[in-house]
Every structure is written in C-alpha cells, then in structure tokens.
Amino acid sequence: MITLLEQALQGNIVPRPPVWIMRQAGRFLPKYRELQERYPFFTRIRTPELASQISRMPVDVLGVDAAIIFSDILVVPDALGCPVTMEAGAGPRLPHPIRTMHDVEQLVRLPAAESLGYVSDAIRLTRSELSDSVPVIGFAGAPWTILCYMVEGKGSKDWELAKRFLLEQPQAASRLLDLITDQTIDYLRMQHQAGASAVQVFDSWAAALSPSMYQTWMMPLWTRIVSSLADIPLIVYARGAHVGIDNIASLGSVAVGLDWSIEAAQARMLVPSHTLQGNLDPVMLFADHDTIRKTTIQLIHDLGVQRTIINLGHGILPTTPVDAARVFIDTVKNYT
Ligand code: 1CP
C-alpha cells in the first residue's frame, strides 16, 4: 500500500496532507531523554535496536505520518576518515579538520554499505517493526553543510574558514565537495534500498554563502545528486536559501523543503507544481493550543492540500511541550 507521504511526493490526489516534524526523533521526547542519559550519542546511532527504538517514538507518541531514521548528518565525515565526537552540551567536534589538499588526499571513500552499513540495518529494522504502517525517511547533509563541519571542525556562526577554503583553495575544496557528493549519492541510494521511502538532504548552512557563490559551487552538485537519484523521492531542504527555492525546484522532480523565513503562500506562488514541505516556525508550538490550530490550518490553506507535506520550518525546539506537538499533528490529521 502506498502511504500518504509517498502520495504527496508523487503528486497524487490526497484527502489531507501528511505531517511529520523535523528533528522529531532525537530531541524533545522524554523517553528519548532517558536513552540519552544511558548511551553515548554514537552508540545510539550505531546500535540498530536503539536507533530503531528512537525512530519509532514519535510515531507512537504523536502519530506522525512518517518516521525519520535516527542518525546524524555527521556520520558521513566519519565514514570518509574524518572522525567526529559528540560531547553533551558542546555539540559536534572533528578533531582533525580538513584544511589543505594534503588533508583531502588522506580521506578514503568506501562503499556506503561497508562504512555506513549500520544505518541500513537500522532502517531495515525500523521498517519491519513499523510493519509498514508509516514510511521511513532517510537523510544526509548536503555537500556544503558537510564541508562546513569538516573544515571548521565544529559549529560556527559565520563559517568563515569554510567559505575561505572555497576561495583560497578552490582545487582542494572542489575535490572535497566531489568526494562528499559521491559518498552522499551512494549513501542515500543505500538508505532507499534498505527501505527508506524518501530521503531528505539538509543544507542547513546554505545561507552562509551568497547567492552567486551558492550558484557557482553548489548548484552543479545538486544537479548531480538529483539526476543520480532520479528514481528516489527526494526532499531538498536548503535553510535560508528561500530566495532560490524556484531555482531548487528547477533541479527536477524534487520536493522543496521550506524554512519559516518565507511566507507559505509566496512559496506556493514561486513553486506551483512541486511538492512543498514546511514551514511552521518551531516557536509557534509555544503558543496556546487554539493559536497552534489556527496557524496550522492557515498553513494548509497557504500551501494547499495537494502536493504539500506539513512540517515545521526547522527542527523542533528541545523544550517544546509534547502536548503542543500533538495539537499540531492532530490538526493536520483531522483536516477536512
Ligand atoms: O545527544 C544528543 O541528543 C545530541 C543531539 C543530536 C541529535 C539528537 C545531534 C547532535 N544530532 C542528532 C540527531 C539528528 N541530527 C537527526 C535525527 C533525527 C531526529 O533527531 O529527529 C537529524 C535529522 C539530524 C540532522 C542534523 N545534524 C543537522 C541538519 C538539520 C538541522 O537542524 O539543520 C545538522 C546541522 C546536524 C549537526 C548536529 N548534530 C548534533 C548537533 C547539536 C548538530 C548541530 C551543531 C551546530 O549547530 O553546528
């Protein structure tokens, strides 16, 4: 049976849009917090039973229309030979950042099935435990966002080193981006083969680049990703790149993920015939329940029922009340 999410991605006529929440698995649910105390981050990700358990939590607790596999975008640098650690409160650290061509040359790309097979195992297990009631969404970071972390070695406000790497060492940057792109294509295909019905690519730091640098450096990589994965439902989420959403849509048959900095109705005007996903401001879930209901219904009106996936415009905030998330989900599910 084809799920509501897959219908919306294919552009089939649906009675209501599907709904899920970015970062629904590993952030705000009390049961997740318990596992967070008991197991280190990468243990949670690399143990299929734990990853599957975490992925299924929002399906059980909130009744979302899709499970996203519990993992992180930074498993890719790790797989390429640039190790990643995660310290509670401090965020990700890459103790051997990539700063020169020599550093790029030390990286090794193995088949995803070899270096990231644990993600396949987690997806397969999640699919079978959900007994196909809702689909599983796979994901990866976009090449630019992954390069950001590999060059900086940690999070950053302005990604100065990453941007300078493009300008000062274009050959090394180009080689690194190609390596990440190849790995990402192989990795997303592997996730689809393991049972992910759709995959989302997160370009969380797209807005750090000017539109012209984004166009020159990143659009050719997006073209390669979209054409290599033409048979797989793909959601492209480039945060802060809202001025370029028609550009992203022109890549082909992709769904376009919206962040909350663009009016939903305006996005629908710019991108009339692709599936759009988004884009409630995550902080709206701190409003009273009536306001959440009204804003959510307005969002459905603005995006339209067809070719729409209702979501937040970025990850759910860790302190969000579970009840508020449930009101958001139920409003979409009860929409007629
Ligand atoms: O112990 C913990 O709980 C650590 C927090 C955590 C979690 C739960 C991190 C560290 N990553 C994750 C999981 C994760 N990351 C998922 C799984 C699904 C889910 O939680 O529902 C997903 C989809 C991601 C994606 C991700 N990781 C992005 C892109 C999405 C976005 O929010 O823009 C990014 C940028 C990351 C990097 C990352 N991993 C973790 C942190 C704290 C960060 C951001 C660091 C920074 O701000 O630079």
Per-residue pLDDT of the chain (336 residues; tens, 9 = 90+): 899 999 999 999 999 999 999 999 988 999 999 999 999 999 999 999 999 999 999 999 999 999 999 999 999 999 999 999 998 888 999 999 999 999 999 999 999 999 999 999 999 999 999 988 899 999 999 999 999 999 999 999 999 999 999 999 999 999 999 999 999 999 999 999 999 999 999 999 999 999 999 999 999 999 999 999 999 999 999 999 876 899 999 999 999 999 999 999 999 999 999 999 999 999 999 999 999 999 999 999 999 999 999 999 999 999 999 999 999 999 999 999
- pLDDT score of 32: 94
- What amino acid is encoded at 323 in this protein? D
- Residue 93 in contact with ligand 1 by CB distance below 6 A: no
- Residue 249 in contact with ligand 1 by CB distance below 6 A: no
* Cα distance between residue 155 and residue 157, in whole Å: 7
- pLDDT score of 39: 95
- pLDDT score of 244: 87
Full domain range(s) for residue 326: 4-333
Helix (H, G, I), strand (E, B) or coil at 311: strand
- Residue 42 in contact with ligand 1 by CB distance below 6 A: no
* Nearest of 198, 196, 209, 282 to residue 22 by alpha carbon: 282
pLDDT in tens, 81-92: 999 999 888 899
CATH code for position 317: 3.20.20.210
Atom of ligand 1 nearest to the CA of 314: 32
**Bridge partners, 85 (sequence order):** 93
**Residue identifier of the C-alpha nearest atom 16 of ligand 1:** 72
Atom of ligand 1 nearest to the CA of 200: 23
Helix (H, G, I), strand (E, B) or coil at 35: helix
* Cα distance between residue 56 and residue 31, in whole Å: 11
**Residue identifier of the C-alpha nearest atom 22 of ligand 1:** 72
* Nearest of 127, 126, 113, 249 to residue 188 by alpha carbon: 113
CB atoms within 10 A of CB 37: 7
* Cα distance between residue 326 and residue 223, in whole Å: 37
- Residue 320 in contact with ligand 1 by CB distance below 6 A: no
- Residue 138 in contact with ligand 1 by CB distance below 6 A: no
| pTM (two decimals) | 0.96
Q: Considering its fold, how many domains does the chain have in total? A: 1
211: tokens are 């539109």
The Å distance, Cα 72 to ligand 1 centre, comes to 6
Atom of ligand 1 nearest to the CA of 74: 37
- Residue 153 in contact with ligand 1 by CB distance below 6 A: no
